[in-house]
Amino acid sequence: MGKVQRVIVCGNSVALAGIETSLGLDADCEVIGHAMPATACELRGLDPDVVIFELDALPHEIIYTLSKELPGLLMIGINLETNRAVMWLEQQAEGWTSRDLARVIHHTGKTGQLKEPKLSKDREKAPVKNNSL
């Protein structure tokens, strides 16, 4: 068994609650629900391995600050309108399920690098594009 990944889910939408519940069933994830933070310092104090948030709700200044101060941090922004997940480790992906996100979280925690997960059997492979900050 690998390192338990500390996953912070920021926000209170129904979609994020579902992601939080789904990832909470994974024994290798310690999932913590949290209100949308006001500052990067507030999130940094929770010592996360992964932060999941609504893409349009977290200020870009916080994303930028965390990506510079915690380079190994995996940040996943969820766009609820387009069913798109944007990951800040130099790649972006569309249409991944919470099971696929769990695979990304575990692989990234073990290697420190983002690798496209083996997608759920019920989902077609989504395009992956470079998206550096």
Could you report the per-residue pLDDT of 46-77, keeping only the tens digit for each?
889 999 999 888 888 888 888 888 878 888 99
Whole-number pLDDT of residue 128: 40
Could you report the per-residue pLDDT of 75-87, keeping only the tens digit for each?
899 888 887 788 8
- Across the chain, what does the average pLDDT equal? 76
> Strands 91-94 and 128-130, how do they pair?
antiparallel
How far apart are alpha carbons 70 and 65 in whole angstroms? Answer: 8
Model-wide pTM > 0.75:
no
Task: Classify 69 as helix, strand or coil.
Answer: helix
The domains of the chain, with CATH numbers, are 5-130 (3.40.50)
